[in-house]
Structure 1
Amino acid sequence: MGKKIILLLTVGVLAAYYVYTPLPDNIEEPWKLTWMIAVSKTVAYLNLFSEFLGANRFVNIAALSKRQEVPPTSDENVTVTDTTFNNIPVRVYVPKRKSVALRRGLFFIHGGGWSSGSFALYPHDFLSRKTAERLDAVVVSASYRKAPKHLFPTQFEDVYNSLKWFLRQDILENYGVDPKRVGVSGSSSGGNLAAAVTQQLTEDPSVKIKLKTQALIYPILQILDMNTPSYRENSHFPTLRKSEVAKGWYDYFTTDRSLENAILLGQLVPAESSHLFKFVNWSSLLPEKFKKGHIYKKPIHGSSDVAKRFPGILDVRAAPLLADDARLRGLPRTYVVTCQYDVLRDDGIMYVTRLQDAGVEVTHNHVDDGYHGAFFLLDLKISHRIINHYIDWLKENL
């Protein structure tokens, strides 16, 4: 009997050690988040084990995502349909209640490191459904082909082409959308794509209908400097680690793993492109409270060979923070969410500063107890708090 108790105690201690994740003191519902992190960690380990046995990592991720998807199910408030815009799959949410005026339109782009995710995942479906209902808006939830099978700029082009299709006068008329009240939004890598397509639209003479708003949820906006204060402080925060961001970037650009070290070391920009560093210089773009005594270290120049082999790293369609001031001046009213415990925090804050300096009207919602992924962890209170703030902003500004 004594041996069984010792065994149970040992198993319990090991399980507690495995599940426990130290979190900052101001995190709301820490044990719920700890449990979610443990489940996510288990899935990641199983994925690595199956990869070790010969399975493809991206096939595993895609299969897992498929099991979490929901069909296009209409309810008493919203009609939901899957269709295509310019041959790109999208899911469209149309409110059922009669409207005396033309509706708002919102084009939403999901995240997932450009390599995973789907508009059919339950959290994305929930958000789009809730947004359509509360705003009385037509919501288009976008899709795009995934890395590493499809490399940059495929994802950008898929989203851009489907958004341009939505912005056609006849398409907006068909859905009863006011062409003066159309916005775009996206989270994480979807925020990256949202920022990139919004910039591109301002310079595209073929698009007559322009966006009224853009909403960026903890967006990833640059690759040149992964040594910002937020990367230093949160590099091992379990909801998004620095190593995972680096992996996402090189899967976006190439199947050649030699790019990984150049990304992590910040050796990407050749001397002839050194003027780009000013666009990501956090020492001048971050408010003092986010610097917290960190000393700025200018990224090291990389070889011209890296930039030639992987030109996407210096392309504003991949890194919207590299856009010059003239490109930023024409952007619409903007909403940016950043989270304190997120490696991408400073990307968003630097973009807020640059947009404000360019004369763009910006609302910055910084979540002091937030972390990457909080927007879609629907079992947690923080998720609904951020979502409600986001929808309230859209209601007032779109």
Structure 2
Amino acid sequence: MPFPSGITVHPELAPYLEALPPYSDPFVDIAATRERFGELLAATPADRTGVRSRRYDIPREDGSALTVEVYRPEAVEGAEGAEGSGGSSRGGALPAVLHFHGGGYAIGRALPGQDKTAIDLCRELPAVTIAVEYRLAPEHRCPAGVEDCYRALEWTAQRAAELGIDPERIAVTGKSAGGGLSAAVAQMSRDRGGPALAYQSMCVPDLDDRIADEPDPVPAEHAPSPWVNSLRTIRRSWQHYLPEGSAAGDYAAAARAEDLTGLPPAYVVVCDLDPLRDGGLAYARRLMDAGVEVTVRNVPGAWHGFELHAPRTRLAREMAAHWTGHLRAALYPATAS
């Protein structure tokens, strides 16, 4: 399946692309999209084997509450801590990963106790994983969501001892919009003198609102499926996320930051057929130029979110293993032993 750019759909993914359901714009009716997403999650519950969780409400200045769900391994050798947590070294404390879900800044929130990515990371790293239920657009436009994510980081660092967390091994991660939020939170923590992050891990990150002005990397008339040409959906997400009538500010678009020095080591994974690919690669290059340690991976012949449709393919498993492996290496460096 060649495109004008010469890029093709990976042979392993071609059968899955052909079997995809009809494309539906999620922003036509956001409430309905959220409802359908919740029904899908309920029909495929997460495997919580070896993991337990507890929900917390973090107060905001206006009296409302930000909810986070803290996942932890049930049994880790040498575990200590106020809640029976613990882990590998440094007094029995575990590293922590704050997980910001994707969904175009408007959708994607997991059901209580059912954040599959957080559960997988909790079990596989192992780590205390905090799933952040940040406010969603368009009801809450930027900076509401990113401020919630930063608030969750501060709360995690402040309660590190109680949660059995090593405050020197805290990372942020997310896919798509969650990757953009991870990059923004890393910048906020640096600029505000907040908790030091050990790592920022960004999967197919949505970093730059200016993509709305760029031409389609895979024109719709040449795409084998609207799922591949998802630029129109990305544009719609930015229209809902940004404050009405204003340009990106308040850490809305991490790629707009002029200074990237002093940020934590980073991981960026992109996909060949993703309109976000070039923006992710450009941000990774700018981090490198700013002296930040960066690992970059490109998934050949894959589209944005392909792993949701083809989770058991070799390509999806390799991407997950690479991402998880580098996160584990960052949180369990050889010097920690």
Alignment-derived partner of residue 249 in structure 1: 238
Paired amino acid for 2:18: T
| Structure 1 residue 187: Cα displacement | 0.8
**CA-to-aligned-CA distance 1:103-125 (integer Å, 9 cap, x gap):** 11000101111111113399x72
For the pair 1:232 / 2:217, whether they are aligned, the reply is yes
State the match for 2:172 in structure 1.
184
The aligned residue for residue 62 of structure 1 is: 34
SS in 1 for 2:237: helix
1:320 aligned onto 2:254: yes
1:348 to 262, 271, 280: 280
Three-state SS of the structure 2 residue aligned to 1:330 is coil
Specify whether residues 390 and 319 from structure 1 end up closer, same or farther in structure 2 by C-alpha distance, changes over 3 A only: same
Residue 110 of structure 1: which of 73, 96, 101 is its match? 101
CA–CA distance in structure 2, aligned partners of residues 138 and 72 of structure 1: 20
Match in the other structure for 1:295: none
Q: Could you tell me which amino acid in structure 2 is paired with residue 61 of structure 1?
A: T
- Please, which of 186, 191, 214 is the counterpart of residue 198 of structure 1? 186
Relative to structure 1, is the Cα distance of residues 319 and 25 closer, same or farther in structure 2, using a 3 angstrom cutoff? closer
The CA deviation at 1:314 is 3.6
1:160-188 alpha-carbon deviations (Å, 9 max, x no partner)? 112211121xx111221111111000111
Q: Which amino acid aligns with 2:8?
A: P
Secondary structure of 1:182's aligned partner: strand
Counterpart Cα distance in 1 of 2:309 and 2:292: 31
2:73 is aligned to: 95
Q: Secondary structure at the match of 2:209?
A: coil
Contact 2:48–2:119 (Cα < 8 Å) also in 1:
no
Question: For residue 14 of structure 2, what is the aligned residue in structure 1?
Answer: 30
Q: CA RMSD in A?
A: 2.6
Instruction: Report which stretch shifted further, 329-338 or 87-96.
Output: 87-96
Aligned residue number for residue 323 of structure 2: 390
Aligned length: 301
Amino acid at match of 2:32: N
- SS of the counterpart of 2:150? helix
Contact 2:98/2:173 (<8 A) preserved: yes
The corresponding residue for 2:82 is none
**Counterpart of 2:151 in structure 1: which amino acid?**
N
Of residues 366, 371, 390 in structure 1, which corresponds to 2:303? Answer: 371
Q: Hey, what's the Cα distance between the residues in 2 that align with 1:80 and 1:177?
A: 15
CA contact (8 A) 2:200 2:267 kept: yes
Given candidates 119, 143, 152, the residue that maps to 2:110 is 119
1:179 and 1:344 mapped to 2: Cα distance? 32
Aligned residue number for residue 153 of structure 1: 143
Q: What SS is found at the alignment partner of 1:185?
A: strand
Call closer, same or farther: CA 1:84–1:99 in 2, change over 3 Å.
farther
Structure-2 residue corresponding to 1:137: 127
Structure of greater relative contact order (alpha carbons < 8 Å, 6+ residues apart) = 2
1:107 touches 1:139 (CA, 8 Å); kept in 2?
yes
Cα distance in 1, alignment partners of residues 273 and 112 from structure 2 = 24
Amino acid at match of 2:57: T
Query: CA–CA distance in 1 between the matches of 2:135 and 2:152?
Result: 12
Q: Could you tell me the percent identity over the aligned residues?
A: 28
Mapped partners of 2:213, 2:120: distance in 1: 37
Structure 1 length as normaliser, TM-score? 0.69
CA-CA distance at 1:31 after TM superposition? 1.7
Q: Which is richer in helix?
A: 1
SS of corresponding position for 2:167: strand
CA distance in 1, matches of 2:308, 2:255: 24
Whole-angstrom distance in 2 between the partners of 1:340 and 1:73: 29
Q: Which runs of 5+ in 2 are unaligned?
A: 1-6, 60-64, 79-91, 332-337
**Any unmatched runs of 5+ in structure 1?**
1-22, 52-56, 257-308
More displaced 10-residue stretch of structure 1: 381-390 or 350-359: 381-390
CA distance in 2, matches of 1:74, 1:92: 16
Query: Residues 106, 376 of structure 1: CA spacing in aligned structure 2 closer, same or farther, 3 A cutoff?
Result: farther
Amino acid at match of 2:161: E
Structure 2 counterpart of 1:210, which letter?
Answer: A
1:232-254 deviation line (CA, Å, top 9, x unaligned): 23665633522111111111125
Paired with 1:192 and 1:242, the residues of 2 have a C-alpha distance of 16
Quickly say closer, same or farther: Cα 1:225–1:76, change in 2 above 3 A.
closer
- Equivalent position of 2:4 in the other structure: none
Where does 1:215-230 land on structure 2 (aligned, <5 Å)?
215-226=201-212
User: TM-score, normalised to structure 2's length?
Assistant: 0.81
Structure 2 counterpart of 1:355, one-letter code: L
1:26-50 Cα offsets, whole Å, 9 max, x none, are 2423222322x325x2xx28x89xx
